[in-house]
Every structure is written in C-alpha cells, then in structure tokens.
Amino acid sequence: MTIYPGAAKEIQKIMDEDSFTGLMPPERARPAAYRDCAESMYTLQDLTKLSLLVRGESGRDLATEYWYSQGDKNIDYRTGKTLPGGNPLAVNALLHIIWKTTKKVGFGIKDKWVVAWYCDVRPLSTLGVVPVKSVASSPLLVESTTRRLLSSSARRMLATASNSRSNAMDGDVNTAMVTAQGIGMFYRITLEKAGTKVQSVAITNALVKPGRFTKYRVLVDQTTCGVTAATVGAGEEVVVTCGTAPNYIKGDTVTIETTTNTNLQLAEVSVVGTDDSQDAIDKALKSNAGSSCLKRGFHSCYNALALARHNDYREGHESKSGNTYTVTPPL
C-alpha cells in the first residue's frame, strides 16, 4: 500500500474549511477520482494527547492503531463479519485497511480528527453478474429465401432451431440472436431480483454481418443508460455503464433496443450489478480476502496482509505507559 498524495490533498482541503466540524461530505460530492475510496474517521477523545495528533505521521499512526484495535475487538476472524452485538463501523474501518484490493491511502488531520481514504478499488464491492429470471424479444429473423415457402408454425420452429433468444446469454460468442429489422426491435431481460442496481451492461457483436450492430440503446426499466457507437466490429464487446458508484440505476428489467432501421444482433449479453443482499455481501467478503490465507481463516489474512502493509504507518507511533511515552516498533 502506498500514500496517495491526491487523496490526502483533497481530504485536507475539506478539513481546512472553517465550516468543518468533524463531518465529511458524502461520496457523491467528492471529485470523481475519489468517489470509490472507502472512508475512516478517528476522533481523539483524550485531548491531552492533542500534541501527538497534530504531528502529522504520529497522528496518522494513532488513528491506524485505533482502527486496528477496535476492529480486532469486534470482528469474527472466522467469517470476517461483525461479532454479535459488535460495532460494524469498527469492523469496516479494519477491513478498509486489510483488503487485498486496497492499494493507496491518503490522510488528513485537523484538530482532534484524522480522516483516511482507502482507494484504488472499493474494499468491499458486492457487484457481480446479475442472475436472470427470463428473456423476451421482438420477432426473430427468418432468412428471406425460406420464409415465403414456410407456414407460420414452421417459421417459428426454424427460428427457434438456429436463431434463439437464449443464444445471447449462452456463453458462446459463435452463436447469436438476431431480430427482424426495424426501429425499436428489443431484447428484454427480467432480472431475478426486483430492484437490482445495474452498474453496466456488456454486449458482444456477432461474428457475422457486424454492420447490423449500430446505435443500440440500453435501458434499465424506462431509464436510458446509454447508446452504443455507430460502428462496432465483429466479435467486439461494448460496455454501457448505468450510473456511477454508489448511484447505479435500479430496476427490474434491462432492455437493449435498436434506434435505427436495423436488426438487433447480440452474440452475448451480461449484466453487472448488485441487490446489496447479505448473500452478495458474503460473496464479496470471500472474494476480497486473499485466497491462500482465507483457507486458514480471516485471522491469518489479518496477520499476513494487514500487519506487513502497515509497518510504515506504525513506525514513530507513540503510546503512553504511566508518565512515559514510548515509540511502538514495527509490527
């Protein structure tokens, strides 16, 4: 983990305002580069130690020591969760430090407060591929050379055999779903859990006739996420985002539709989002911990990852024993 000068400068700018009284602005009010940083705040209760706090590195270490000690008292290392009756905020402050996805940290200090932003990747992200309940679409394309010779039932059978709605979510880019031509041709995905927050929709163009894939619109319910480019190459994947963290668009369905007189042609579609359920949180906890130490329990992750990373922050930290202040050695 390294010091993040940009984050530190932004934190200090906020704290140096005359109106600052220990309350940081919400994530959405930060500059875009820092919205995914996890925040921890320390408030010094023993004001006789205020001279320690304002001394830059010592204040930073005093806060880190507190976040470690309080998290240690409240976390169940077997699961990474808060102990019954424990303080989840204390556990979160510890997890911000020890997650393998935490790469940078910036600190700000003013009066009795220390604020840290742990950045690069949000330490706990519940985002993942969203389960699908069902799919629907406009009528599928049937090749014109055979269409006139078939009954309506035979046409439906032919479309199902070679051009299926399921092709767009079968994990195989060599198959595709193609609708009839027109404006407003659609592919609609009903998500397994209503009210899912959708972060992005990834769409892969088919390997044949790539020119059909142009200016497709992506919606969550009736809210537009965005429109794809006019030109998308054969087999190329495009990702349409649906808001920024943590304000993703919430809905029950995801729809992809044509905005020009063309066919809707989809080789693969994948929806990324979260329902913020406990199950999603549990999966995030496991995926964020180092795989090797996870097998031995969260306590070993804490030792192997957190203690090694924070030696630099603890060096120079002073603690009181009786009337004597001593320097804490590296962990």
Same-domain status, 92 and 224: no
DSSP 75-127: EETTTTEEPTT--HHHHHHHHHHH-TTEEEEEEEEETTEEEEEEEES-SS---
Same-domain status, 118 and 183: no
**pLDDT single digits (tens) 15-51:** 999 999 999 998 888 887 888 788 999 998 888 777 7
- Nearest residue to 247 (alpha-carbon basis) of 23, 26, 11: 26
**pLDDT single digits (tens) 243-290:** 887 789 999 999 999 999 999 999 999 999 998 777 776 666 555 544
Q: What is the pTM of this model?
A: 0.52
Same-domain status, 236 and 283: no
Residue that is last in its domain, among 231, 258, 274 = 274
Number of folded domains in the chain? Answer: 2
- The answer for 227, left when phi > 0, alpha when psi is -120 to 50, beta otherwise, is beta
Same-domain status, 8 and 112: yes
Same-domain status, 90 and 152: no
φ, ψ of residue 11 to 5 degrees: the values are: -60, -45
Residue 145: domain span:
128-274
Same-domain status, 62 and 158: no
Same-domain status, 121 and 157: no
Question: Cα–Cα distance between 14 and 64 in angstroms, integer?
Answer: 20
Same-domain status, 159 and 217: yes
Question: What CATH number did the domain enclosing 256 receive?
Answer: 2.60.120.260
**pLDDT single digits (tens) 281-329:** 666 655 554 444 444 444 444 444 444 444 333 333 444 455 554 444 4
Give me the percent of the chain exceeding a pLDDT of 90. 41
Same-domain status, 262 and 140: yes
